[in-house]
Amino acid sequence: MRSFEIPTHYRSNLIGRLKAFRKAQDPKKKDLSPTLLDLGAVRFVLARHFGFCYGVENAIEISYQAIEQNPGKRIFLLSQMIHNPEVNADLEGRGLRFIQDTHGHMLMDWAELKADDIVIIPAFGTTLETEARLKAIGIDPLRHNTTCPFVEKVWKRSAQLGEKAYTVVIHGKAAHEETRATFSHTAQGAPAVIIKDMAEAQELGRIILGELPLERFQALFGTKCTPGFDPARDLERIGVVNQTTMLATETQAIADHLKQVMVRTYGDAAVGSHFADTRDTLCYATNDNQDATHELLKQEADLALVVGGYNSSNTSHLVELLEHRFPTYFINGEKELLSAREIEHFNYPAHRLERTPDWLPAQRPVTIILTSGASCPDTLLDRVMLRVLGFVEGVKDPVEVVGMMTA
């Protein structure tokens, strides 16, 4: 896999060295066991996989190249390039402006854009409608297109399903940029409906089985399906794809459930004509990070710190996994570690910031799970780690310990 030119301020002297060491030891990524960084009074347990993925590094490289190669030009980001406030703030500090927020709401008027402006498409991709709007202004939407190749893979698979007269069931969050883009690209060639979780998959299954009236479809999915969607016709042949940052295990469980619905409806012999196998749309990086997080669940630890943007879907799912076993704190970075006695963290289900006292146990050593989402720079984890160490007496020098581990 190719390497990318990432600005040096995103490179890590500590976490990055450990990740590179593990990669050199295990290039085929067969060993998912975490890395233990023992600093005496504090022990960090690091996931085997975390941080910037291929798609994010690709997006960062293209964005910073656009700045370097177009001095004097106005440069815009269609929306947040990735869901990390540190990266987006750095780009804004270099003069870039956002056209929309992460939900697609306009932050400026389209009329402000001129044909010679630079517009960068984020890693999540964008809708065909937005592409058409940019083309009408005279801006080539593909010139600085950072859409993740794995998102584009989902679009291609959806198109293939449409060509074979399948309806596409998209497992995702309807308001998320990637899901809006996938829905738009899918809708040009196939009926499509978005479901957010297993509960909605079960409701959809009951409609297919005739256990719920067809009118129920409109009530549940009327705002999340293509115009003219006819459940009596369009739910006879289906395939499932996903927003690549969703829990892969949940996507597979949803696909398995809907396949069994088709078996019950049409019989084993005919299920191949009514349900398409779409496992190949799952993102490798999301899978790696989630598989590595499952390995963390086997460890003994006092708490978990998960670092990333609060609107990052893939990061929220890591929190969701870890909080079943450990006291888990979702933070943007080291600033949320207010003191050894208090932490500010994001309650994802409630979508609000909270403060928790006595988050750092008094016993020594204290063992901390540390990981991050796919859009989080490793330097942020360095800073979080150093901030924690600053609260504890008698810790070893992390530079020396990492140096000995990777020598």
Whole-number average pLDDT of the chain: 93
Contacts of 133 (CB under 8 A, 6+ apart): 110
Q: What string of DSSP letters covers 179-236?
A: HHHHHHHHHTTS-EEEE-SHHHHHHHHHHHHTSS-THHHHHHHTTSB-TT--HHHHTS
Q: What is the pLDDT of residue 52?
A: 87
Residue 81 has pLDDT above 80, yes or no: no
131: nearest Cα among 83, 209, 188, 172: 188
Q: What is the pLDDT of residue 282?
A: 66
Q: What is the pLDDT of residue 1?
A: 59
d(CA 178, CA 185): 11
Residue 277 has pLDDT above 90, yes or no: no
395: β partners: 40
Q: What is the pLDDT of residue 280?
A: 61
Per-residue pLDDT tens over the stretch 238-265: 999 999 888 888 999 999 999 999 999 9
Domains within the chain, CATH numbers bracketed: 8-53+285-406 (3.40.1010.20), 54-137 (3.40.50.11270), 149-282 (3.40.1010.20)
Per-residue pLDDT tens over the stretch 211-223: 999 999 999 999 9
Percent of the chain with pLDDT over 70: 99
Residue 299 has pLDDT above 90, yes or no: yes
Per-residue pLDDT tens over the stretch 260-274: 999 999 999 999 999
Residue 274 class from Cβ within 10 Å (0-12 exposed, 13-18 middle, 19+ buried)?
buried
Residue 2 has pLDDT above 80, yes or no: no
| Cα angle value 66/70/73 (rounded, 5°) | 115
Tokens 């196998």 -> residue:
277
Tokens 């804004």 -> residue:
92
Mean pLDDT, rounded, for 78-85: 83
d(CA 65, CA 6): 10
Q: Can you give the three-state secondary structure of 105-167, one letter per residue? A: CECCCHHHCCCCCEEEECCCCCCHHHHHHHHHHCCCCCCCECCCHHHHHHHHHHHHHHHCCCE
CB–CB of 259/193 below 8 Å? Answer: no
Provide the CA 31 distance to its chain's centre, in angstroms.
Answer: 23
d(CA 375, CA 393): 32
Question: Encoding tokens for residue 120?
Answer: 């960068």
Per-residue pLDDT tens over the stretch 338-393: 999 999 999 998 999 999 999 999 999 999 999 998 889 999 999 999 999 999 99
CA 18 → CA 286, 301, 344, distances in Å? 20, 20, 27
Residue 101 has pLDDT above 90, yes or no: no
Q: What is the pLDDT of residue 249?
A: 85
CB–CB of 373/382 below 8 Å? Answer: no
Preceding peptide of 398 cis, ω within 30°: no
195: nearest Cα among 226, 178, 212, 172: 172
372: nearest Cα among 46, 124, 54: 46
Q: What is the pLDDT of residue 84?
A: 84
Per-residue pLDDT tens over the stretch 47-76: 999 998 888 898 899 999 999 999 999 999
CB–CB of 243/170 below 8 Å? Answer: yes
* 178 carries an active-site annotation: yes
Q: What is the pLDDT of residue 121?
A: 94
Q: Catalytic pick from 131, 178, 200, 336?
A: 178
Per-residue pLDDT tens over the stretch 148-192: 989 999 999 999 999 999 999 999 999 999 999 999 999 999 999
d(CA 93, CA 86): 10
pTM for the full predicted model? 0.85
